[in-house]
Structures are given as structure tokens and as C-alpha cells.
């Protein structure tokens, strides 16, 4: 089985380059922001970071395909890099430090493409998380200075911390009643949003999280970090991996209950 460690090292190099570019423009008074056709914002920093990553990949992995949020898919083949240059653009443009670059390598296999490497880098928080298939998940400053991640062992909803992004998406999908029932059963809820709840599930600080509507580039990197930390990452339909257009992540012990509440009246 491939060890993917060379790809993981490359992903860190890509994240370093993206961090430098995005940090330089964070809180810039002249930052240019546009509205995309789906009514979500995109900044010049989003575009610049993705172009930078694509340029590095073209030189280092010319045979691999690339899928990015801002510029779509380029190339074909059994290996595909998936990029979200800034996950949390709305935070980024308002000066909120909760945003990250998400970089994943996906490889063709049974059931389609599956993530085999993932790096989540949040420079404004001073945090980075990563994983490679079969090697576990880690957080730290670098590959040589890291600590291994493991999900929590909380086994009762009444003791669990549940994180989410917002209420509106659950209401639009007709899942709000089940969502609210879940919030009443757990010990604590917090709306951290975007990539961060998944990383907190991986490090055992949060026990479960979910979002009703996501794209592949929002999930590919976070999915492998959660699963390599011993957790579960599925769609709301229970399908493993980042392919369902939404996500549920947990320490595994609470996953069936999480899905049960979010689907109970749907």
C-alpha cells in the first residue's frame, strides 16, 4: 500500500505558500471582494492562493488532476488534488481569524475517489492539522514537531459537545426540528463553523458536528483528519466520506445517534 508521505510533505509545502499569501492580505484595507453567482463572496486572496497552489502542483505533480473551489477541475487520472484556498471566506473578509486553507489528495478506488492525504492550515489561529491514510492524524507546527490526534471517548449524548455552523440550512432542508431536539439532549452546543468543528472532533475537544450543505472541497481534507484520528465522517445519509453534499462527524461512539436526530423528521 502506498505510504503517501511524500504527498503529505508536498501538501505542507503548498500550505506554507498559501499561508504566506493569505496572511499578507488578511485585514488589508484594500482587499478586493466579489460576489459569485451562488451569492457567496470570493476575495482576491482566495484566487491568489488557489493559483499559487495550482502552480506548485503543475511543477511537482504534473500528471495529477486538480479540483479547486475557484477554478474548477483541470486534468484527469486516478489522483486528484482538491483545494479550498480559504475555507471561511466570510470570516476572512470581516477580519475574523477562523479560516483555513484545505488541501487534500484523493485517489480513485472502490466507491470513487477517496481522500488519502489532508492538510488543514489556519495561520491566523496559529494551528495546522494533517493526516495520511494509514499514518494517523496530527497537529503541530511542522511534521517534525507534532502531536497525534485522537477523538474523545464520550459515549453519552448528555455528556457530549455538539458544534455546527448555522441554523438556516437545517431549516431550509426541513431538518430543524431534529437538529433542535439534538441540541436539547447534548451537554453543550457551540456554532464555531467551517473547518474548525471537524478539527476539534479529531482532537477530542468536541464530540460531534454536522453541516447540511457542503461541497467536496469543504470536506475532503477534514474527512481524512477525522477518520485517521479514530472518528467517523459521513454524509447525513450515512455514506462514508465526503461525497453526500453534507457532513456528519463524530467520535464514532455517538454517530448513529447523531444521524438519527438529524434525520428523524426529514
What does the pLDDT look like over 48-66, one tens digit per residue?
899 999 999 999 999 999 9
CA 213 to chain centre: 13
- The percentage of residues in the chain with a pLDDT greater than 90, rounded to a whole number, is 76
Separation between Cα atoms, residue 147 and residue 119, nearest integer Å: 15
- Give yes or no for residue 41 having a pLDDT over 70: no
pLDDT of residue 69: 86
Separation between Cα atoms, residue 14 and residue 123, nearest integer Å: 13
Confidence of residue 82 (pLDDT cuts 50, 70, 90): very high
Which of 116, 119, 144 is closest to 199 using CA atoms? 119
Compute the average pLDDT of residues 17-43: 78
Separation between Cα atoms, residue 211 and residue 227, nearest integer Å: 17
- Mean pLDDT, the chain, rounded, equals 92
Q: Kindly state the DSSP code that residue 21 receives in the 8-state scheme.
A: H
pLDDT of residue 3: 83
Least confident of 22-31, 94-103, 169-178: 22-31
Whole-prediction pTM value?
0.94
Compute the average pLDDT of residues 69-83: 92
User: Where do we find the cell 484556498?
Assistant: 85
- Residues 182-220: tens digit of each pLDDT: 999 999 999 998 999 999 999 999 999 999 999 999 999
Phi, psi of 108 (to 5 degrees): -65, 140
Compute the average pLDDT of residues 162-179: 92
- Give yes or no for residue 39 having a pLDDT over 70: no
Separation between Cα atoms, residue 234 and residue 244, nearest integer Å: 8
Separation between Cα atoms, residue 164 and residue 218, nearest integer Å: 14
Separation between Cα atoms, residue 99 and residue 69, nearest integer Å: 15
Separation between Cα atoms, residue 156 and residue 154, nearest integer Å: 6
Separation between Cα atoms, residue 226 and residue 239, nearest integer Å: 15
Q: Kindly state the DSSP code that residue 194 receives in the 8-state scheme.
A: T
Would you call 148 helix, strand, or coil by DSSP?
A: strand
Amino acid at each position: 500500500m502506498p505510504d503517501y508521505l511524500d504527498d503529505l510533505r508536498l501538501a505542507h509545502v503548498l500550505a506554507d505558500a498559501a499561508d504566506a499569501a493569505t496572511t499578507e492580505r488578511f485585514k488589508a484595507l484594500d482587499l478586493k471582494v466579489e460576489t459569485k453567482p451562488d451569492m457567496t463572496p470570493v476575495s482576491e486572496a482566495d484566487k491568489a492562493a488557489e493559483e499559487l497552489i495550482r502552480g506548485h502542483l503543475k511543477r511537482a505533480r504534473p500528471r495529477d488532476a486538480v479540483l479547486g473551489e475557484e477554478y474548477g477541475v483541470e486534468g484527469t487520472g486516478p489522483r486528484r488534488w482538491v483545494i479550498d484556498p480559504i475555507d471561511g471566506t466570510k470570516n476572512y473578509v470581516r477580519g475574523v481569524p477562523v479560516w483555513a486553507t484545505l488541501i487534500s489528495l484523493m485517489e480513485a478506488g472502490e466507491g470513487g475517489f477517496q481522500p488519502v492525504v489532508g492538510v488543514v492550515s489556519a495561520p491566523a489561529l496559529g494551528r495546522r492539522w494533517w493526516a495520511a491514510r494509514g499514518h494517523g492524524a496530527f497537529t503541530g507546527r511542522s511534521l517534525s514537531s507534532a502531536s497525534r490526534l485522537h477523538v474523545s471517548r464520550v459515549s453519552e449524548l448528555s455528556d457530549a459537545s455538539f458544534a455546527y455552523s448555522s441554523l438556516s440550512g437545517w431549516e431550509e432542508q426541513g431538518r430543524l426540528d431534529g437538529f433542535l431536539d439534538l441540541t436539547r439532549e447534548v451537554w453543550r452546543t457551540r456554532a464555531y463553523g467551517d473547518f474548525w468543528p471537524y478539527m476539534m472532533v479529531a482532537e477530542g475537544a468536541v464530540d460531534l458536528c454536522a453541516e447540511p450543505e457542503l461541497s467536496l472541497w469543504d470536506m475532503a481534507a477534514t474527512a481524512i483528519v477525522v477518520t485517521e484520528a479514530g472518528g467517523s465522517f459521513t454524509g447525513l445519509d450515512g455514506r462514508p466520506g465526503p461525497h453526500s453534499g453534507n457532513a456528519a462527524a463524530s467520535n464514532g461512539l455517538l454517530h448513529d445517534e447523531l444521524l438519527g436526530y438529524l434525520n428523524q423528521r426529514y
